[in-house]
Structure 1
Amino acid sequence: MGLNDEVGRRLKELRQGADLSLSELARRSGVGKGTLSELEGGRRNPTLETLYALTTVLGRPLSAVLDDPPSTGRASAAGVSGSAVTAVLVERYEDEEAATDVFRVTIADGATQESAAHAPRTTESLMVLSGTALVGLPHAPRTAGPGAHAQWPADVPHVYGAPHGEVHGILFVRYPKDGPHR
């Protein structure tokens, strides 16, 4: 089963588990009903922005619709891309307080991506491996270079940018469990 098929199957299961119709999930997420139908059927490539819009409404972390991280500790080849960011799920950690997704990310040279708000109290932290990233809140982004990190609230719109060359890093997305996340 390919990435599109797997993502589609998981999206459909989560939607049905939340007792939402295709139309209702489309309305709440702002994703077109036709797009959602094609995603669930494995006939459309998912974008990072679209998957975040859907999983936020479903009250689930992004990893709930992606391939399971490999047991070898190495990132799988399958990733999901947005307008500037490509993310590959490396690890998912869960305890009684939160679920944390760990992604190997690349921010494209000269690109900027604005991400919509995630579920309440979600935070993100980027550890930069190479390049210089501009990340965080749109009105006050933080700069982080190789070996540095930045952390920001992700329950509000936030940005990723690579103004001076491609950036490689490790992104941690923490979803507290006192909300709708399971």
Structure 2
Amino acid sequence: MTPITLIARALKRERSKAGLSLSALAERAGLAKSTLSQLEAGQGNPSIETLWAIASALDVPFGFLFDTAPPELTLVRAGEGTPISSEGTDLKAVLLSNGPPGSRRDLYRFDLVAGMTRDAAAHPQGTMEHVLVASGRARVGPKDAPEELGPGDYFRFPGDVAHIYEAISAEAVLFLAMEFPR
């Protein structure tokens, strides 16, 4: 892949993540909209100064403009994935997807068993957790206000306070998306 192709892909990816139009990014970077349009089309020969202006306007490291995009398709079958251990509990957590460059989120599958409680410490200020129950029943959320959830229930809560995950059925499978602040 040529450098201009890498830049074109990264520019589209990062601009999309930032939710910016070509015009808005051009204004922030102090560049002509036509210059950005050409770069996204994989044309042109941008200077280092142009690329620094774009990276600064997108609030990403310069190197992100040369990163290859993560694979567009990812399949993690049940029983596969990157296991994450939890101290003091039998919690089985599997990292399904860590955020690609510029992203601030991770996706996990939790397998809980009855009688097991995962006490989680507060994460960085502004962290949000999104939980979806696939099967079983669980008590989830801030320690002072957990909710009982069943299959198909979704619960979003601040992850920057102490919180719990507890199976209240024989087994429970939860999907957790952690959204971190910028």
TM-score, structure 2 normalization: 0.53
> In structure 2, the residue corresponding to 1:79 is in which secondary structure?
strand
Report the counterpart of residue 92 of structure 1 in structure 2.
Answer: 98
Q: Which consecutive unaligned segments of at least 5 residues does structure 1 have?
A: 1-67, 178-182
User: 5 Å matches for 1:11-26?
Assistant: none
> In structure 1, the residue corresponding to 2:104 is in which secondary structure?
strand
Deviations 1:65-93 (A, max 9, x none): xxx99x63215443113214221111123
Cα pair 1:135 1:143 within 8 Å, conserved: yes
In structure 1, C-alpha distance between the alignment counterparts of 2:144 and 2:90, rounded to whole Å: 19
Match of 1:81 among 52, 75, 85: 85
Report the counterpart of residue 151 of structure 2 in structure 1.
Answer: 146
Paired residue total: 109
In structure 2, C-alpha distance between the alignment counterparts of 1:74 and 1:150, rounded to whole Å: 23
Bigger Rg over Cα: 2
TM-score, structure 1 normalization: 0.53
Q: Which consecutive unaligned segments of at least 5 residues does structure 2 have?
A: 1-69
> 1:174 is matched by which residue type in structure 2?
E
Deviations 1:23-43 (A, max 9, x none): xxxxxxxxxxxxxxxxxxxxx
> 2:111 is matched by which residue type in structure 1?
T
Cα pair 1:85 1:160 within 8 Å, conserved: no
Instruction: Please state how far the C-alpha of 1:164 moved relative to its aligned partner.
Output: 2.1
> 1:80 is matched by which residue type in structure 2?
I
Report the counterpart of residue 161 of structure 2 in structure 1.
Answer: 156
Q: Percent identity?
A: 32
> 1:92 is matched by which residue type in structure 2?
N
> 1:102 is matched by which residue type in structure 2?
L
Match of 2:122 among 94, 117, 125: 117
Report the counterpart of residue 135 of structure 1 in structure 2.
Answer: 140
Instruction: Please state how far the C-alpha of 1:111 moved relative to its aligned partner.
Output: 1.0
Report the counterpart of residue 168 of structure 1 in structure 2.
Answer: 173
> 2:128 is matched by which residue type in structure 1?
T
Instruction: Please state how far the C-alpha of 1:102 moved relative to its aligned partner.
Output: 0.4
Aligned-residue RMSD, C-alpha: 2.5
Q: Kindly tell me: are residues 93 and 78 of structure 1, through their superposed partners in 2, closer, same or farther at Cα, counting changes over 3 Å?
A: closer
